[in-house]
C-alpha cells in the first residue's frame, strides 16, 4: 500500500546488497499520486480489503505469472526465494492457491508483517515458509493464525526444514508504523540475515571465496583510509 514504483525499485536495490545479486521484484501499484493523496490511500485500502475477502485481483494474477516465470528459469534443482511484506503477503497467499505443487516445491516464502500468514500446514508443498512479525505490528492482530500462535505459544514447525513458521520480534523503533516497515529497524536485520542464509546455502564455493576476498579487501581499504 502507498508504495510508488521508485519506492519498490529502491527497496529492491537495497535488498540486492544483502543477497549479493540483483532482485527480481514485482510492484503492487498504488492509487496514490503523491504522499498526501488521501483518496488514493483509501482506494489502496479498499483493494486490500477485497483481497482479505479472497478476491483475485489483477495484482494476484500478475504475481502468479511472475513466480511461474522464475520457477521455469531455475531448472529441476533450483529455488526461488520469495520475500513479501504487508499486503504483498496477502497477494502471495492468494497467488499460492493458483500455483501447481511442482511450482510450490521450488519456492521459499519469507514473509514480513503480513496481512496473511503462509504456512506449510496450509501449503505443504512450499520448500519453506517463515512469517516474521514485530510484536507491535498493526497487522499481527488481524491475522488469526499469527495472533493465535502468539497468544497460545503453540508454534507450527515446518516438516521440511524443522524451523518455526512464526517468528515474533521485539520492536526496535517502539512505533508500530516504523516497525512495520520492511527496511525499518525491526525487520531490516532479518532481511539481512536471510541474505546471509541464501549466500551460505545456495551460492557456489567459488562465489563464496570471491565474496570473502572482496569483503576482506573492502575492510583493508577502510583501515588504510
What confidence score (pLDDT) does residue 208 get? Answer: 55
Read off the DSSP letter of residue 53. Answer: T
Q: What is the pTM of this model?
A: 0.87
User: Half-sphere exposure (CA, 13 Å, Cβ side) for 119?
Assistant: 21
What is the number of other CB atoms lying within 10 angstroms of the CB of residue 223?
7
CA distance 176 to 165: 22
The DSSP line for 62-119 is HHHHHHHHHHHHH-TT--EEEEEETHHHHHHHHHHTTS-HHHHTTEEEEEES-SS---
Along the 225 residues of the chain, how does pLDDT read in single tens digits? 788 889 999 999 999 999 999 999 999 888 888 888 888 878 878 888 888 888 899 999 999 999 999 999 998 889 999 999 999 999 999 999 999 999 999 999 999 999 999 999 999 999 999 999 999 999 999 999 999 999 988 777 887 788 999 999 999 999 999 999 999 999 999 999 999 999 999 886 655 555 555 554 444 343 333
What confidence score (pLDDT) does residue 205 get? Answer: 61
What confidence score (pLDDT) does residue 153 get? Answer: 83
Amino acid at each position: 500500500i502507498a508504495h510508488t514504483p521508485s519506492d519498490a525499485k529502491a527497496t529492491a536495490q537495497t535488498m540486492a546488497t544483502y543477497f549479493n545479486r540483483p532482485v527480481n521484484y514485482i510492484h503492487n501499484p498504488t492509487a496514490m499520486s503523491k504522499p498526501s493523496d488521501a483518496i488514493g490511500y483509501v482506494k489502496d485500502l479498499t483493494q486490500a480489503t477485497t483481497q482479505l475477502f479472497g478476491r483475485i485481483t489483477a495484482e494476484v494474477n500478475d504475481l502468479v505469472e511472475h513466480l511461474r516465470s522464475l520457477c521455469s528459469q531455475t531448472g529441476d534443482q533450483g529455488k526461488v526465494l520469495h520475500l513479501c511484506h504487508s499486503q504483498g503477503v496477502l497477494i502471495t497467499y492468494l497467488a499460492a492457491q493458483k500455483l501447481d505443487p511442482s511450482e510450490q516445491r521450488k519456492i521459499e516464502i519469507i514473509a514480513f508483517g503480513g496481512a496473511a500468514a503462509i504456512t506449510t500446514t496450509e501449503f505443504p508443498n512450499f520448500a519453506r515458509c517463515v512469517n516474521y512479525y514485530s510484536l507491535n505490528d498493526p497487522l499481527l492482530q488481524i491475522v488469526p493464525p499469527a495472533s493465535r500462535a502468539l497468544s497460545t505459544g503453540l508454534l507450527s514447525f515446518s516438516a521440511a526444514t524443522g524451523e518455526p513458521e512464526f517468528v515474533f520480534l521485539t520492536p526496535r523503533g517502539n512505533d508500530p508504523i516504523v516497525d512495520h516497515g520492511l527496511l525499518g529497524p525491526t525487520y531490516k536485520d532479518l532481511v539481512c540475515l536471510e541474505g546471509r542464509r541464501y549466500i551460505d546455502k545456495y551460492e557456489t564455493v567459488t562465489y563464496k571465496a570471491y565474496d570473502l576476498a572482496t569483503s576482506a579487501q573492502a575492510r583493508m581499504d577502510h583501515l588504510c583510509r
